Structure 1
């Protein structure tokens, strides 16, 4: 009896062991019911798919169900996955990926799972093992981004989803190497498809290839890869142009044919001159036109009126304020230039200064022309404001009298003046004004005591008002100087007659000088000359008696060739008879 009891104990132990073995077998079936291999996604590795479009399924040996009779009630015993889980069948849990965190690998994602096994009494039937799930598949598409930068990702025709809890769609740009990956939870549509919207701003606004994958996620959080899809987002591009400045100095900058602008907030256009080394850079916000282009106007005055090359660039700005360079363009602004000329002064002493063929004048306010004589060292400089002519040239008249009647070289310069009053030098010109000169001579008549002074071949007389000729005898030390105003002759010469009697009838050397006198009364010496004079020192003349009529007692006294060193005011003729010696003298005035 004791022996029989002992055997029963052994039998009980045997059945207990068998029950434990059965539990282990059942647990293996649970662990192997999904035999799909999963691709682990890491930050440094792109998501890949198997070579075949269908997921790789690894067949597992199904463990059969044992029928047995339990000698006694059997309780449920917990069984850990460490007892049954195989290393090549991991359980993977997927969670949202944050910055600095890698997508879990198959090794790091596996964690123990505790299962429960139920044993049955004798005569009952244990559950049979389940077979592998049907193959999974889906169609996955990604739309091109719309005007707001939204991609629509759609998974449809899903197969093999039965028994899975949800669908996950990771999406990222290849340009950023999966740094911008986001795991989206798409929404189920009435037709059974799943869709989600992804915005470029959530993916650093990257250009180029984007990739999406669709995964089925079971109730244990395990991911099963199903399908991948790609879309190319156009690299930002545009046509950028800059017009030559108009007459007001305005550049028109135009960006058109914009591509890859989806999801950006605005367009910015920086513009500057190369001459100023970007010191004058201005970031413009262009206006959108009805044709989709963007334009902005920039004025040269806002860029220091620089000449030479100007540069513009177009940037797309996203909602995070990040700039994406798109295109650059250049334009050359003509360096200010013009033709400048100065006429010789006319008979009134007027110079005509002309600036024509003006270039690079766009955006300037006015033209200024300073003019001066080199002889005066710019002391006589005058800044003239020329008048614009119908042909676009600018002219001004300058008179020599406003420049101290200087002789020699004159200089004019041309400046463009902008709205800020800044002068830009453009051109200079010169003209030589002839130094005043003339030929001066003195002819004398010693018998009559007269001098004829003549000035001819006058040069540099333009702008002067008159000619003056001072004349004097050196014997009197200029005490007898007289300033004569000669008369202009038809041949352009000037002459005047001087009498020796007006110079105290002095003998010896006489001097005459020629002066030009301007409108301010300033005298400019031109020339001098001399003459030697030896006049008679006592009065002379001839007297004759004619028509003597003895019957009537009358006769005519003829007086001629009268000369007096001091001049002749009147001639008186005394007459008397020989009888009684001059007691009958009478003075007759001739």
Structure 2
């Protein structure tokens, strides 16, 4: 087994260096191989080539072939050989011997006809007597039928010696194997040489080059050059020399690789050969002394027109110049500063090319500084000075052209230039004093380099008058240059407005308004307000319709004016597309009332039963909406009834009067008639009064419903009897369920004269909304009963919220409690007091101090609630003043909802005023806490809460600390 060979690296010191110089070999390695002298080698198709070559004749046929030897044969020998030559089975030739590289080629030609074909050709080559450096090459078949092997002494331990070459040809059938021996070839030995020199010493930059020349028998593997200056070699660097085209090796030394030390540098050279031998030499020491730091700079090549100059810098520093930076600016705030990096020139100087393009194209005085940085990080700076680059290029001119008074337009032509190039030119134009019609035009560049803007009053609300024009030129650097161009007059030469009243129809109550108008911007609309009422209560704004001939028309009709008759006033307002308004007064038009009529008479009087009819005939422009007939007998009208007249087939209206509707009062009855038109107009008349005796009526019963309160769910029922002396009892049953399971019989209470009263309350009917039916029963002293249907009342409120809930209160009671103090300081403004005691009362003190739960608990208690309902189920520290107790108790007893955040709560619209909102804390937060308050929204989704924060207040819904979810606890009973 071959031993692996490694390069030995030496520390650089005097002892090791002398040892290295005395002996060229880095290592003397021996290689042992098991070799049997005189052995016979037998090869088969399955066997590998042997590692040793036998010195005896093998079983193969052997031919000695004349080869091209490294030593030339004599002419006689060649002639003798040629005389005896015959065609041999194998011809082997050694070619292309390269003494420098230690290589040659072996070309094999097989002349014998091998019927089974050649399987492979092996060529063993060696120089060592014991064949320690033998290598079996496998020849490659060439296109011309020959076989070739490329020998390289790198495969033979780089031995320079006489090499022995044999050839073995193996057939596919193993029956025609052939061997031949070629002449020996000598690779001549070479002398090992090593020299080096130092060149290109630059004391300023601290650098030099080491050039190495070397040769060896085995060839150079690599060259290393250690260089150092420190006595302890702490700054040593082993450079890998780079082979050059001429065969030399090169190292570029720089003090940057040696901690920028200055002083005497030591240089050694180590050459490593391919056969693991080597050679070393010591090269001359080099002194790289300290250099004096120098920095100089000057401004050159100032070009005012272009806005440029150069900064030329000369500098040196011990560690060598790493870079030179040159900041240049003109702005006092340095907002146009640029740090240039100087470029090194062939003469070792540095240069910067300054251009105002790098400084927002600013003109003025430029300041230049220079900062030189050494490779060791040291900085040296200097102020070069100021350089003036005045503005010699900016120009701006503009003029008004192509004024067109008729179209209301003109052009603005601008010529401008600026160092940075024109980015854009904006032209503001306006006529309004407040610039309400201003437009900023962006000028367009023309082929000749000028810029143009096309102004048109269409862009200025079609205003006519004096227009002001300014021009602002912006450079690519953001700089602005402006000028006032002047004023241009575009007078109003087009606006016209005329109108007249036509087609007056007194009978129908109508007329037309015909308008002719024009305006620059075009007519957007024409509005015509018409009215007759002094306070304009019947005013209507008509929108005029455009006709085919370009005129506009409005059709006025009294049906649009509450059917009022009288003098109508007409105005006209024309609006242009620019929003401008032009108005005129057209005048007054009389439309007198020629139609309204109202007549009525009393008919079918029945003194015995106490009744009569009122027959009415009427007409009105707007049409009759309704006719009401109030009838009464009492002086204070407490028995008045407003009858609604019914229309008959013949167009007349009728009312059937009965004293049953008037508390059965006997006496003189008054009758009025009120006719209401569809427009709200009213006309009335009074009919003659007369006495009704109702002689046949002895007992009677009537009733009515009054004072309905939808919010509270209450109303009153009034029952009237003919004679109080004959009435023993009056009861009123009320219900809303179809099976009457919720019926309640109310006992009527006598009020006065013949009147009884019942007060209905929704709480007596489980707070259920719905359509309630009202009947009445009276019992006479003789036991006889009378019955009437009084009527129905539909109660639509949310009365369930008035029921008390689990806590013994309700939304209504909570709202009432808070509303009592909505505008005082009982709750509002109370300072916050944090929970610090198990005594809840300490945190339920309005005006003194409350926590958020103490406020809620106080409101619930003051609205009739029972706080023990909470503490019986959850009574942790703080009792009723601890919101966690409320959460735990209410989640078990009332309806509740949870939401991820306040927005989800509001979007659900489930919260009703008076409900409780609880914020569950985010327990990942260090100072987590919960919060509770009372929802105070006026409508579903209204973002309002009444709660105790730093003070007691009403605000949008929020918690003072992060929360994880929101609970909504219903305070209703639904």
Highest relative contact order (Cα 8 Å, sep 6+), 1 or 2?
A: 1
- Is the structural similarity TM-score above 0.5? no
Relative to the length of structure 2, the TM-score reads 0.22
Relative to the length of structure 1, the TM-score reads 0.33
